[in-house]
């Protein structure tokens, strides 16, 4: 546990350089404990459980340790470049409130026979093979050559599966500030093609602090598991030739581990273009069964409550495993990028936050830590499959 805290702290310090006053967004529930422990921390504003704290750079490691020890959060707060950037997180409140509470579409479950047939085609072996292949890249860091090679491999797999389909494209989404591209596979909807359903996860990995370009980072759980889950969903969709009415976009985001950079870029460009995204599913960490009595745990923050409730019903109808709720306490993955842009997102996660996989962001995040199989991730692929069919109709 101590080791994980050190990694969390190091990851955070890398973002602050030498600034004296710094601004962080942090769960409001952690503010008074933080203020009690450290002098001079000033709470500037808060909205819906998130606060902006002014702290100084010498307090960052201690705050990270406090968050880890008292709240079991890795990181647990986000460091911002400026006061205005931190406050903007709160000032986008109206947009985020809609993203959380607005009911975007009809969530009635109607496609029983089709969905059941497609769910039964999901195969654990394929997910396991993809996790093994992705974790064999030295790392998938957003600035390293192997992080470019791993994206080329995913793109190649998705292209191979969609060969001969005139209604499917696989493209890089290039980012102007860093070399690693994201990947977007689009399946054009038949009758409602302007309405978009997104299934995504981050493809990059990270470990260590100094020389991250060279550090071994298998990222098997975080997040080869999510990409493998998505890839198996694509395989079944392509093999059945099922044609959704809405447009489906599968996304493998770049540079999540360094501040959700890839997804932020994409979500903001969709918002700017006025694209109608009716649902976003985020798959980040699906293969480590950390919580004994819950297989699928839905994050309740930075997500849409109606869509998440719908996903709970999908689990009961098609996956038949126990599920529950938890929260990150901060924008812990790419769903937050979509949420902050005003779109409805859900994040089904492998365990509660109290039971997180302690090996993530280290060289030991391998599939061996999850029993060398992908039985947990298989449940998430079944869920993604049913989400695609029932929301894509």
Residues identified as active-site = 202, 222, 256-257, 284, 361
Give which of Zn ion, ligand BES, none residue 329 binds (C-beta under 5 to 8 Å, depending on kind): none
Q: Least distance (Å) from Zn ion to the CB of residue 285?
A: 8
Q: Which CB atom, from 195 or from 284, has the smaller least distance to Zn ion?
A: 284
The residues binding ligand BES (CB under 6 A) are: 74-75, 78, 222-223, 256-257, 259-260, 284-285, 328, 331-333, 349, 353, 356
Q: Is 378 an interacting residue with respect to Zn ion (CB under 5 A)?
A: no
Structure tokens at 387: 């989400």
Number of residues that bind Zn ion (CB under 5 A): 1
Q: How far apart are CA 380 and CA 283, in angstroms?
A: 8
* Nearest residue to ligand BES on Cβ basis: 75
Q: Give the rounded distance of the alpha carbon of 87 from its chain centre.
A: 23
Name which of 157 and 223 has its Cβ closer to ligand BES.
Answer: 223
| Helix boundaries (H) for the chain | 2-13, 31-37, 60-71, 83-91, 93-101, 112-119, 124-135, 145-161, 225-240, 261-272, 305-314, 335-340, 375-392
If the CB atoms of residues 71 and 107 are measured against ligand BES, the closer one turns out to be 71
- Helix and strand totals (H; E) in the chain: 13, 13
Q: Among Zn ion, ligand BES, none, what does residue 307 contact (CB within 5–8 Å per kind)?
A: none
Both structure tokens of 33: 């404990």
Residue 328 interacting entry, from Zn ion, ligand BES, none, C-beta within 5 to 8 Å by type? ligand BES
**Partner whose binding site includes residue 111, from Zn ion, ligand BES, none (CB under 5 to 8 Å by kind):** none
Closest CA to 303 of 270, 259, 337, 351: 337
d(CA 322, CA 284): 19
Question: Minimum distance from CB of 241 to ligand BES (Å)?
Answer: 33
3-state SS, residue 56: strand
The secondary structure element, H or E, covering residue 182 is: strand 182-187
Nearer to Zn ion, 217 or 280 (CB): 217
Residues 171-230 that bind Zn ion (CB under 5 A): 222
Q: Is the peptide bond before 223 cis (omega within 30 degrees of 0)?
A: yes
> Which residues of this chain interact with Zn ion, rule CB under 5 A?
222
């Amino acid at each position: 546990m101590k080791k994980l805290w050190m990694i969390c702290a190091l990851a955070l310090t890398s973002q602050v350089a030498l600034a004296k006053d710094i601004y962080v967004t942090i769960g409001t529930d952690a503010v008074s404990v933080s203020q009690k422990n450290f002098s001079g921390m000033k709470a500037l504003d808060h909205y819906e459980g998130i606060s902006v704290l002014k702290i100084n750079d010498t307090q960052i490691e201690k705050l990270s340790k406090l968050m880890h020890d008292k709240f079991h959060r890795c990181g647990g707060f986000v460091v911002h470049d400026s006061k205005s950037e931190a406050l903007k997180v709160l000032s986008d409140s109206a947009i985020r409130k809609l993203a959380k509470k607005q009911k975007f579409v009809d969530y009635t479950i109607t496609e029983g026979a089709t969905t059941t047939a497609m769910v039964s085609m999901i195969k654990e072996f394929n997910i396991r093979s993809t996790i093994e292949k992705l974790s064999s890249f030295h790392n998938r860091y957003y600035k390293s050559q192997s992080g470019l090679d791993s994206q080329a491999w995913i793109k190649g797999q998705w292209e191979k599966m969609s060969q001969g389909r005139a209604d499917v494209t696989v493209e890089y989404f290039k980012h102007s500030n860093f070399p690693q591209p994201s990947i977007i596979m689009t399946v054009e909807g038949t009758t409602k093609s302007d309405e978009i359903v997104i299934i995504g996860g981050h493809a990059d990995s990270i470990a260590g602090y100094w020389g991250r370009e060279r550090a071994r980072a298998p990222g098997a759980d975080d997040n080869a598991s999510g990409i493998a889950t998505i890839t198996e969903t694509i395989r079944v969709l392509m093999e059945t030739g099922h044609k959704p009415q809405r447009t489906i976009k599968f996304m493998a985001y770049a540079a999540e581990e360094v501040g959700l950079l890839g997804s932020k870029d994409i979500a903001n460009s969709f918002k700017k273009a006025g694209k109608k995204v009716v649902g976003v599913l985020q798959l980040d960490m699906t293969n480590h069964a950390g919580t004994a009595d819950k297989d699928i745990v839905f994050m309740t923050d930075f997500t849409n409550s109606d869509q998440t409730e719908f996903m709970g019903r999908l689990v009961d109808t098609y996956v038949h495993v126990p599920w529950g709720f938890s929260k990150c306490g901060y924008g812990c993955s790419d769903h937050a990028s979509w949420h902050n842009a005003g779109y409805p997102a859900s994040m089904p996660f492998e365990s509660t936050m109290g039971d997180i996989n302690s090996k993530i962001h280290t060289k030991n995040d391998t599939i061996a830590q999850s029993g060398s199989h992908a039985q947990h991730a298989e449940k998430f692929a079944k869920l993604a499959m049913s989400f695609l069919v029932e929301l894509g109709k």
